[in-house]
Amino acid sequence: MTVDSIERLADRCLLPGFVGTEPPEWVLRRAAGGLGGVCLYSRNVVSAQQVAALSVRLHAENPGLVIAIDEEGGDVTRLEAAAGSSYPGNLALGAVDDVELTGAVARSIGAELAGAGIDLDLAPVADVNSNPINPVIGVRAFGAESDLVARHTAAWVQGLQSAGVAACVKHFPGHGDTSLDSHLALPVVDEDPHTGALEPFSAAIAAGVRAVMSAHIVVRSSDEMPGTISSNVMTELLRNELGFRGLAVSDGLEMRAIADGVGIVEGTVLALAAGCDLLCIGGGLAGEDIAIELRDAIVAAVKAGRLSEERLVEAAARVDSLAEWRSQQMVGVRADRAIGLAAARRAVRAEGKVRIDGSPVVVQLRSTPSQAAGVVPWGVAEPLAQLGAHVDAISVDETASVDVISAAAGRSLVLVVRNLHRHPWMAAAVEAALAQRPDAILIEMGLPACRPAAANYVRTYGAARVCGIAAAEVLVER
């Protein structure tokens, strides 16, 4: 095999990102040369119409280019990062526990993605959130029970793919039982994934999922290497044991679980050798230089005998196979955003006296968002105002000192939090406020793993825009 042909195969295995709402020259040139795909982020999105035009331009260079995006619904949205998602995320769907509803939500998301020219959705999350202090999964999971997560993962996959967009379940073999974020460190899982974490992935494979994304976690029962670069995980477990024959996608290789360990370049070679087919890079490093560096590293590994030509051919062929599947989908499903709000309304839970007066003070306690979610608007102040309430909105973080009790004297007080159990300062602030205003309403828009002594309590199971609307409707219901 010539160096040129090896270079083309190596390029076919790369999924870079880029900056801007128009494709740079290098992306168009590399797409025309056979690049595997591109991954879009919120920085690439202005509107669905703009993304559709972007996709048309990219596919004009190469119809087999795989355009991917992280569109989970709920807290992790790229198409609606500016306003918040029109669909609740997995935890809300798990709380309702209606697989037909889950499928309908995913089908509508798929219709929106198909209309925007997206080929591969890096969703759903199939992790079982068995560790409540998990900093990166939480509301992105359907729940903490493997059987519930399995049936909703299968329904989400089938719903999305029925709209003609390929699903990619993540993060194999299960990121739920961790206490670290692999964007920032290398998590270690002591539990054998056979005890439950694999069940949703098995269900997704049985449902015909087209792709599986690796996890940058050490699974001690399988290997001491991170799963993404472990052949025991990506080949023995995923391929040989579970029988998956589709596309294996790496999680972002610049995440510190890989970058701070073996490094991005070596991680690329090791991931490909371990069994990953499409290598994701570009969340942070988004220029042609990194794409060239990784392509050249793959070529050098083949020439040095560290990576077989057969493995490279196999990986590129799986990228081709996914692109071919997508090209055959002529579905024409229509999006139905009403199903998103209906699902959010079914998920919300309220206890106590949660009606407000016409002029509430809404205090939102903010923490730093995860890198997976990024900065997306959330809360109930705006939807309450849209329902006619005269809202005074106060935003508080760990450094702020605001006398909310005085500000809310004689008025309804609404405290809005997200993942209260993970932020001691937030819990202390809520406890102090409730001590003085036991009539205050506490709204948890994250994982409801910790409930202080709040008589009036609302759970939304996620912070999507529609979850905020559903909570606001409960507060003003007559």
Mark whether 296 is an active-site residue.
no
Tell me: cis bond preceding 424? Omega within 30 of 0 counts: no
Cα separation, 65 vs 61, in Å, equals 8
Other C-beta atoms lying within 10 Å of the C-beta of residue 358: 11
Q: Which of 152, 171, 183, 423 is catalytic?
A: 183
Q: Which of 251, 277, 421, 423 is catalytic?
A: 251
Residue 459 CA from chain centroid, whole number? 21
Mark whether 251 is an active-site residue.
yes
Cα separation, 132 vs 177, in Å, equals 8
List residues with catalytic annotation. 183, 251
